[in-house]
């Protein structure tokens, strides 16, 4: 096991938890969107606008295929677990944690966000449907499902850090 992947819907807490987990485990933290923005020199809305969503999905897969081989924590984008190839790469190269949150918490966090093209173009009910469609893929891709509802960040981070510590030696 080298990498720790956090997967789940937009607004489920991947970045907030990833950063704290990095502090707790002393493993470096990377945010996939941030890395893609850095590599392309474009924002996520610009990539969607200029190249289309499909090209963005290719960039995500490319990132997973080629990202450096080191112990690290990676917060993935909310659509990453939809592709079979992506799920296979993540499961093969690391431990995968699905952060589960109820849609009403998610909506509260993402509804006013301007940096997420999918939110910009969708209604509340579109986003809820997408959430329901995606959930089986998150469950399928993950080694662990982590409940976040009514739990503090600290509690969630402690739980994931414990699982990493317990399994580190087993995944090589
Ligand atoms: C997306 C989620 C975003 C980002 C892009 C598409 C998605 O990442 O990759 O806007 O399809 O759910 P976050 O999950 O970090 O918001």
CB of 87 within 6 A of ligand 1: the answer is no
Using alpha carbons only, what angle is made at residue 82 by residues 70 and 47, rounded to the nearest 5 degrees?
Answer: 80
Q: Does the predicted TM-score (pTM) go above 0.75?
A: yes
The token duo for 84 is 């079979």
- Per-residue pLDDT tens listing for the chain (172 residues): 689 999 999 999 999 999 999 999 999 999 999 999 999 999 999 999 999 999 999 999 999 999 999 999 999 999 999 999 999 999 999 999 999 999 999 999 999 999 999 999 999 999 999 999 999 999 999 999 999 999 999 999 999 999 999 887 654 4
Atom of ligand 1 nearest to the CA of 45: 10
Atom of ligand 1 nearest to the CA of 9: 14
The residue whose CA has the least distance to atom 8 of ligand 1 is 77
Looking at the DSSP assignment, which residues form a beta bridge with residue 46?
A: none
DSSP the chain: --EEEEE-STTSSHHHHHHHHHHHHT--EEEHHHHHHHHHSS-HHHHHHHH-HHHHHHHHHHHHHHS--SSEEEEPPTTGGGSHHHHHHHHHHEEEEEEE--HHHHHHHHTT-SS-HHHHT--HHHHHHHHHHHHHHHHHH-SEEEE-TT--HHHHHHHHHHHHHHHGGG--
**Of the residues 53, 63, 79, which should be mutated to test ligand 1's pocket, given the most ligand atoms within 8 Å of the CB?**
79
Q: How far does residue 88's CA lie from ligand 1's centre (Å)?
A: 19
CB of 137 within 6 A of ligand 1: the answer is no
DSSP 6-22: EE-STTSSHHHHHHHHH
């Amino acid at each position: 096991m080298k990498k720790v992947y956090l997967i789940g819907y937009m607004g489920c807490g991947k970045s907030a938890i990833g950063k704290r987990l990095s502090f707790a485990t002393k493993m470096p933290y990377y945010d996939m969107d941030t890395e893609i923005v850095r590599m392309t020199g474009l924002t996520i809305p610009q990539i969607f606008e200029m190249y289309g969503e499909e090209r963005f999905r290719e960039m995500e897969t490319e990132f997973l295929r080629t990202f450096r081989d080191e112990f690290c924590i990676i917060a993935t984008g909310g659509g990453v677990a939809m592709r079979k190839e992506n799920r296979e790469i993540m499961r093969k190269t690391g431990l995968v944690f699905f952060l589960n949150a109820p849609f009403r918490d998610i909506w509260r966090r993402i509804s006013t966000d301007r940096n997420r093209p999918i939110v910009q173009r969708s209604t509340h009910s579109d986003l809820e449907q997408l959430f329901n469609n995606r959930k089986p893929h998150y469950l399928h891709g993950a080694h662990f499902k982590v409940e976040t509802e009514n739990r503090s960040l600290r509690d969630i981070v402690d739980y994931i850090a414990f699982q990493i510590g317990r399994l580190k030696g087993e995944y090589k």
